[in-house]
Amino acid sequence: MLIKVTNEISLTPYLKKDKSDLVKHINHSDISNNTLTIPYPYKKEDADIFFNLIQEKEKKTGKVWNWVIRNKENHLIGSIGLLGGNFFGNPHRDVFGYWIGEEFRGKGLMTKVVETFADYCLNERGLVRLEASVFPHNQASMRVLEKAGFEREGYLRKMFLKKGEYLDSVLFAKIKE
């Protein structure tokens, strides 16, 4: 499965060959600080655990849940994915997260990826509601979501627990009309 974002960017499922690029690009403290579950430092063992998790989930459901953001040279430069939860019996909605390598930021790529991914989820996956939660300090991610047509729906106090600390979250959503 290939989702074309631009002539230079596409989304594809993970491949075993992506492991070294994954470890290279995700291994930054700011990615860990801006996401809930990505550790820092990120090691090859972490990539192995991640690959096993996505492989099991895809085998179990027959669907792709996590995509590689690929450049025109077909290298991993980031990732975007759905949690894939049937939240309290509500299969019409899902939550997603994303990250992009440091050298690829500030070029508008993530906004295009999120726009394309949201269209795919709302039109091809049958979702009616797509959500993303952002830590309040991550202003760049909030701008990406707003530019991609997501609306800010609320501020959730002490929404997440990470490393023993309660963290607030800003909730964004895009609704299929």
Q: How far is CA 172 from the centre of its chain?
A: 13
pLDDT in tens, 33-43: 999 999 999 99
What's the pLDDT tens digit per position in 115-135? 999 999 999 999 999 999 999
Which H or E element spans position 80? strand 76-82
Give the count of domains, the chain.
Answer: 1
pLDDT value at position 30?
96
Provide the mean pLDDT of the chain: 95
Q: What is the pTM of this model?
A: 0.95
Three-state DSSP class for 77? strand
Whole domain around residue 26: which residue ranges? 3-175
CATH code of the domain covering residue 9 = 3.40.630.30
Q: For position 81, what pLDDT does the model report?
A: 97
pLDDT at 62: 93
What is the token pair recorded at 85?
């939860």
In tens, the pLDDT along 103-118 reads 999 999 999 999 999 9
The low-confidence residues of the chain, meaning pLDDT below 50, are none
Query: pLDDT at position 45, please?
Result: 97
Phi and psi angles of residue 71, each rounded to the nearest 5 degrees, phi first? -90, 180
Residue-level pLDDT at 1:
82
